[in-house]
Amino acid sequence: MSDVPARDREVVAGAIFRGGRLLLAQRTSPPALAGRWELPGGKVEEFETPQAALARELREELAVEVRCGARIGVDVQLSAGLVLRAYRAELVSGEPVALDHAQLAWVDAEELLSMDLVDNDRAWIPELLEELRAL
Ligand code: 9L3
Ligand code: MG
């Protein structure tokens, strides 16, 4: 046993803005989250940076290349040892397609408020709205 507390494992999610809209993706799993909308992303692997993980996840899930930008919104504790963080993601190449989700949607500020977002991602609504309304 070590006296050093383990760092939280991180789940990264990407906020892609374009033309005054934000990209949301509709989950297919687990059953409790299927049908609900999220910022796409996933777990950071061991020895991987959050930035590299975001690029890998969005490549796997959306078939795009992104540049990971600044953090946006608060840290969301998912469970003991697992923390969810959102980052801005700038599209470098490719057009997002739903490889892992049911469908994608580009939403404006009003539409964001009407989407059935997963509970964890609702924590970021203030910053996402602020950004959308400034665009
Ligand atoms: N999660 C929540 N909001 C998000 C993302 C990308 C992920 N925007 C949660 C759902 C799962 C866990 O994090 O419980 C791991 O995500 P994934 O690998 O199933 O996408
Ligand atoms: Mg995912």
105 SS3 class: strand
Q: What's the CA-to-centroid distance between 104 and ligand 2, angstroms?
A: 13
Residue nearest to atom 2 of ligand 1 (CA): 120
Q: What's the CA-to-centroid distance between 1 and ligand 2, angstroms?
A: 32
- Global pTM reads 0.95
Residue 2 is predicted with a pLDDT of 62
pLDDT tens profile 74-112? 999 999 899 999 999 999 999 999 999 999 999 999 999
Q: What's the CA-to-centroid distance between 131 and ligand 1, angstroms?
A: 22
Ligand nearest to the CA of 29: 1
Ligand nearest to the CA of 82: 1
ipTM above 0.85, yes or no: yes
Residue 104 is predicted with a pLDDT of 99
Give the closest residue to 86 by CA, choosing from 37, 14, 27, 10.
14
pLDDT tens profile 46-71? 999 999 999 999 999 999 999 999 99
For residues 52 and 99, give the distance between their C-alpha atoms in angstroms, rounded to a whole number.
19
| pLDDT beyond 60 at 1 | no
